[in-house]
Amino acid sequence: MQLTQKNLLGIKDLSINDIQTILQTSTHFKEILQRVSKQLPSLRDLTVVNLFYENSTRTRISFELAEKRLGASIINFTTSGSSSAKGETLLDTVKNILRMKVDMVVVRHSASGVPHFLAKQTNAIIINAGDGTNEHPTQALQDAYSIQEKFGKIEGVKVAIIGDILHSRVAPSNIYLLTKMGAEVMICAPPTLLPKYLKEAFPLIHIEYDLEKTLRWCDVANVLRIQLERQNQPLFSSLREYNLSYGIKKNILHRIDKEIVIMHPGPINRGVEIDSDIADSEQSIILDQVENGVAIRMGVIYLFSGSPIAVNTK
Ligand code: CP
């Protein structure tokens, strides 16, 4: 199972075949994760550093768990308690860690392009765990996996991505992946939360400003968090008004009189982009996305490590 890329920098670089290979491999790992004994020895010769320069719960824990399930040796780096507080550069930090015989770097950073920079400057295998507003490839893979699990396919499924697209790295990765795999994609947000050149960058998408029209159109609503920490000027009048116009609520879902699947990459701002009763409802597959994140990250680490050992599903 050969991939076209040495590093996972973004979905933009992956071929359709790469994506299918990752999804299929992750299906084997998902089966293994249902067993009492979930531990595999496949990657016991691999050493991975999880380099998190930005906060994370789901991505950091699921990468760590995936690496442990595959038997890899792991090191966890966070800026707190590290020498980056003394002014050490990112590259010096990474070069020092790699000199300790580390093979793979899983990196999250608030600056777009950090994984690409590390891929140019080092020989390690680089896996992007989210870079600025650029991409979050493993999130898109777990989202697509969850859609495939629910609908039995990705092609032809109508997916609406709703919310703060401007500050999102989940949105671009999802758009790349879903359009490559033949899904239909609609973006819905207030104009101030849309990047200027969205249609030029992604000619295949539909753009809609009206939430009710979007929900009537879609099979899946992937709802994104309002990223207040990345907004340095007000982009809408108040969180309450955002919730009234763009929040996923019981009354609007009743009005459209149609069962749609609700997704959210997390963390959720309850009562802002989605109300609690919807996030926790039978329509929601938010926790399935989280569960699938471990299998996807096992698939990604396994495939990008170039391991020649076949996945043992027995
Ligand atoms: N979805 C996601 O990336 O969540 P974390 O920031 O908690 O990793």
Ligand 1, pocket-test mutation among 55, 57, 60, most atoms within 8 A of CB: 57
CATH classification for the domain delimited by 137-286, as one of 1.10.3210.10, 3.40.50.1370, 3.40.50.970, 3.10.20.880: 3.40.50.1370
CATH number for the domain formed by residue range(s) 11-135+290-304? 3.40.50.1370
Cα–Cα dist 31/181, whole Å? 23
Please state the pTM of the whole predicted model.
0.95
Nearest Cα residue to 127 out of 291, 14, 290: 14
Tally the residues of the chain.
314
Q: Which two tokens stand for residue 239?
A: 């969180």
Q: Which atom of ligand 1 is nearest to the CA of 61?
A: 8
Amino acid at site 68? K
Q: What share of the chain is helix, strand, coil (3-state, %, to 5)?
A: 45, 15, 40
Looking only at the bridges linking them, the beta strands covering 158-162 and 125-131 are: unpaired
Q: Write out the chain's pLDDT in tens, 314 residues.
A: 689 999 999 999 999 999 999 999 999 999 999 999 999 998 999 999 999 999 999 999 999 999 999 999 999 999 999 999 899 999 999 999 999 999 999 999 999 999 999 999 999 999 999 999 999 999 999 999 999 999 999 999 999 999 999 999 999 999 999 999 999 999 999 999 999 999 999 999 999 999 999 999 999 999 999 987 777 776 777 899 999 999 999 999 999 989 999 999 999 999 999 999 999 999 999 999 999 999 999 999 999 999 654 444 43
For residue 156, the CA-to-ligand 1 centroid distance in Å is: 27
| Cβ(164)–Cβ(227) below 8 Å | yes
Question: What is the C-alpha separation between 314 and 310, in angstroms, rounded?
Answer: 11
CA dist 129 and 108 (Å) reads: 5
CA of 257 from ligand 1 middle (Å) equals 31
Tell me if 214 sits within 8 A of 221, measured CB to CB: yes
What is the DSSP pairing of strand 220-223 with strand 206-208?
A: unpaired
Ligand 1 centre to CA of 56 (Å) is: 5
Residue intervals of the chain classified under CATH 3.40.50.1370 are 11-135+290-304, 137-286
* Residue 185 backbone phi and psi in degrees, to 5: -125, 130
Q: Write the residue with the smallest CA distance to atom 6 of ligand 1.
A: 56
**Ligand 1 atom closest to Cα of 54?**
6
Closest ligand 1 atom to the C-alpha of 59? 8
The Å distance, Cα 297 to ligand 1 centre, comes to 13
Strand, helix or coil at 107? Answer: strand
Helix axis angle, 58-69 to 286-304, nearest 10°: 50
CA distance 66 to 117: 25
Phi first, then psi: what are they for 47, rounded to 5°? Answer: -120, 130
Going by CA atoms, what residue is nearest to atom 3 of ligand 1?
A: 59
Ligand 1 mean position to 267 CA, how many Å? 6
Which residues form ligand 1's pocket by a CB distance below 6 Å? 56-60, 130, 139, 265-267
Task: Give distance in angstroms: CA of 58 to centre of ligand 1.
Answer: 5
CA 269/CA 282 separation, integer angstroms: 19
Give the max Cα distance, the chain: 59
